[in-house]
Chain A
Amino acid sequence: MLRLFVLFASLLSISLIPIQTHASNNGTAACETLPEPFQQLAIMTLDPAVGNPPQVGLCHRVANAEKHYAKEADDKAIQELEKYIAGVGKRGGKFVGESYAAALISEAERVISIISGNFEPETMAINGGVFGFNDKAPVGGAIVNVSFIESGSTFTATTASDGLFSISDLTEAGVYVIDVTTQDGRTGSAQGSLLETENSSSVLVTVDLAGSGAIYGTVYDESGQSVPAALVTAIFPDTDRKYSTTSSSDGSFALMNVHGDGTLILVGFKNDTGASGSTTGVLSSYSSQITRNLTINAPQTVNAEFLNSGFENGLEGWSTEGSVILIDRNLVFTTPNSGN
C-alpha cells in the first residue's frame, strides 16, 4: 500500500510540474533569455511553429542544457540537447512541421558541436567590384583594404581587370569598411555587412579623385561617453556619393578628401550592440571642413516580434520623436487598398 501511495504521489508530482510552470509563466520563461550559444535554439523553440506539446518540454531541455553548460558540466549539457533532438524527432511532424523540425535539430547539433569543441565555423567571403564614380567603368589593379570595425582585423586584395575582387576564407563576421586606392590615385570607401549565417557579402565601391573637404567629429553614446570602433558613414543624396570610416579609440573620426556635394547625412553605428544615430550637415566650396558629432542609441524597447505593421493599433509597438500622426493611407498613397 505504501509503495502504491509513493508511486501515485510521484506520478502526481511529475504531472503537476509542467502544469504549475505553465500556469505561472506559460512554461517557457525558462528559455526566453538564454545566452549564446543557446540563444538561437531557444528562440526557434519558442516560435509558434512549435506546438505545445512539445514546446514547453523542449524549452526546458534547452534551459537545462544552458544551466549545465554554465556549471561546466558539458556532458550533461550535451545529454539534454540529445534528449531535445530525440524529443523533436519522435513527434514525426505531428506537432512540429518536418522542415522546421529539421531546422531545430540542425541548430541543436550546432550547439552540441560548439560545446564539444568540434565546431568548425564555415568560412565566408567578401566579394566586390570597384568602378569609376563618373564613368562607371571597372577599375583593375586597385588596392582594396577591408577592415572589420569591431575587431580591427584587416584584409587586402587587388582588383582584377574586370574590377572585381574577392576576399575568402574569412571566419569573422560583422560590419566592415572598405578603402580603395587605384593606380591613378583615385580613392573610394564603402561599408558592408557580413553575417555569420551567410556565406558571402557583396559590395560595390566607386572611386574618384580626392575632394578638398573633410568631416570631423566624435561618436558618443546616450550617456555622453565617447564610442570607439563605431562605423561612420556620410551620404550625399544630391550626388549619391558615400564615404565610410571607423571612429578611433577616443571616439573621434575624420572623413578626408571628401567632395563638397552639399547636404550630407551622417550615420553612426556600433557593431556589437546595433546602436545607431544620425545627424545632418552641409559641405560645400564655402564650407569645406565641418565638425559634426554623432550620438548613437541602442533601442530602449524591444518587441518579441514585429508589431502593428499597418498602424491598426495606433502607434503601439513604435517609438517616436518629434511629431508623428496617423492618417488614412489613401490620402497619401495612390494605390488603393480594398480595405480602406
Chain B
Amino acid sequence: MDIMKKVTAKLSVLIPYTAVMLLAGAQDAAAAGCPVTQAAIVSNAGSQSAKGTLSQAFIVPPAYEQVSGRLRFLSNEWPQYYGTEYNDTYLARLTAPGKVEIIASGNVNSSTWSSGLLGYNGATPEITYNTDLSGLVGKTVQLAYEVQDVGDTIVDSALAVDAVQILRTEQFVPVEGQGGALTGDATISGSFGQAVKLTFTNQNILGTTIAVKDTSPFGQTKESIILPQQSVTFTFSSFGEEPMGWNFDVSTNSDAFVVSYGVESTWTDGMPPNPCY
C-alpha cells in the first residue's frame, strides 16, 4: 500500500500545480460589473506539519453581523483509501476572546464524494456556512481554515475556500408577505436573496426545540432551544444570482410548539436582480 501511495503522491503534487499554471490569468476574462474574485486552495502538500492553514484575524466593527462563505474538500485519498485510516480532515473555525465556534469539520470517510477536479481524485459538494459576529464588536476574531493529513503524509488533500463575505446589519431588509405563526412542523419558502435571516419567537409558556433545514442539496440544518418569549435567529447563505428560490423545513421534537417568525433577506421585491457575490 505504501508503494501505491507514493506513486499517487507524485501525481497529487504535480497535477494541482500544473492545473494552476494553466489557469493563471483566468480572471482576465472577467466580465464587468461584479468584483473579480478567486478561490483559495489550502493544501497539506509539502507541509512539514502535515497541515495547511489559511487564516485571517481582524477587529469586528459595529455593523458586522455574519461571516458567510463556502468550501469544498478535495482529496486524493478518495476513492482508493476511502474507509481506511488515511482519513485526512478539514476544519473551519472562528475564535475570539470568549467565543469558539466550529464552522465546518469533516474527513474523507465522513464526506460524500463526486469526481475530482484540479487534479484531485475526489471533491465533496459545496459546503456553505454562516457564523455570527454580533456580540463581538471591538474584539479580535480569527477565522481559520485547515486541512490535515491523517495516517500518512504521502497523499494529499485540500480545502477550497471561496466567497468569504461579511454580512452587515444594514444589508438585511424585512421581506413583506412573509412571517406569521407556526404550531408544528412547517415549510417556509420564497424568493429571497443570497442571505436569509429567519427569526423565531417562542409564544408558548413552555420552552421548545427548533430545527430549520435548508432543503437545497447539502443545505445546512440549524438547531436551538427557545425559552418562552425568547427568540432565536438563523442565517443561511447561498451563492448565485438573487433573487433565488429558498425552501426551509421547520421542525421540533417538543410537544408545545407555538412560534412566530419573520424573514429578512439581502433581497426583496422591488430590488433589481443582483448577479454578484
Q: Which residues of A contact B (CB under 8 A)?
A: 39-40, 43-44, 47, 49, 100, 103, 125, 127-129, 131, 136-138, 162, 164, 166, 173-175, 191, 193-200, 202-204, 231, 233, 235, 237-238, 262-263, 265, 267, 269, 271-276, 278-280, 282, 299, 301-307, 309-312, 315, 317-340
Contacts and interface: CB of A to CB of B under 8 A. Distances in A.
Given A237-B89, A299-B142, A312-B35, A322 B47 contact: yes
Closest 7 CB pairs of A and B: A339-B34, A310-B37, A299-B57, A322-B52, A322-B47, A328-B26, A338-B275
Choose among B62, B164, B206 the residue with the greatest number of A CB atoms under 10 Å from its CB. B62
Contacts of B253: 131, 136-138
A171 to B, nearest CB: 14
A100 B137 CA distance: 14
A39 B26 contact: no
Contacts of B110: 237-238
Most buried by A among B55, B67, B95, B232: B95
Contacts of B178: none
B36 to A, nearest CB: 5
A203 B102 CA distance: 13
Given A47-B61, A312-B36, A327-B39, A321 B52 contact: yes
A333 B89 contact: no
A299 B150 contact: no
15 contacts: A43-B62, A162-B256, A204-B223, A238-B109, A262-B87, A276-B100, A303-B59, A304-B59, A322-B47, A322-B51, A322-B52, A325-B17, A333-B163, A335-B126, A338-B276
B178 to A, nearest CB: 24
Given A44-B62, A274-B96, A303 B57 contact: yes
Given A162-B207, A337-B277, A312 B38 contact: yes
B42 interface: yes
Interface in B32-60: 33-47, 49, 51-59
A51 to B, nearest CB: 15
Interface string B205-231: 011010000000000000111110010
A307 B56 contact: yes
Nearest to B256: A162
A324 B42 contact: yes
B23 A162 contact: no
Contact of A193 (B99, B147, B206, B277): B99
B7 interface: no
B37 A265 contact: no
A243 B103 CA distance: 16
Contacts of A262: 87, 109
Contacts of A331: 23, 26, 39, 117-118
Nearest to A235: B105
Contact of A340 (B20, B36, B42, B166): B36
Nearest to A303: B58
Contacts of A311: 37-40
B275 A337 contact: yes
A193 B118 CA distance: 38
Interface in B1-27: 16-17, 19-20, 23, 26-27
A322 B89 contact: no
Nearest to A328: B26
Contact of A278 (B43, B91, B106): B91
A53 B52 CA distance: 45
Contact of A47 (B49, B63, B164): B63
Contact of B142 (A128, A274, A332): A274
A328 B27 contact: yes
Nearest to A200: B230
Interface in B92-132: 93, 95-102, 105-107, 109-110, 117-118, 123, 126
B79 interface: no
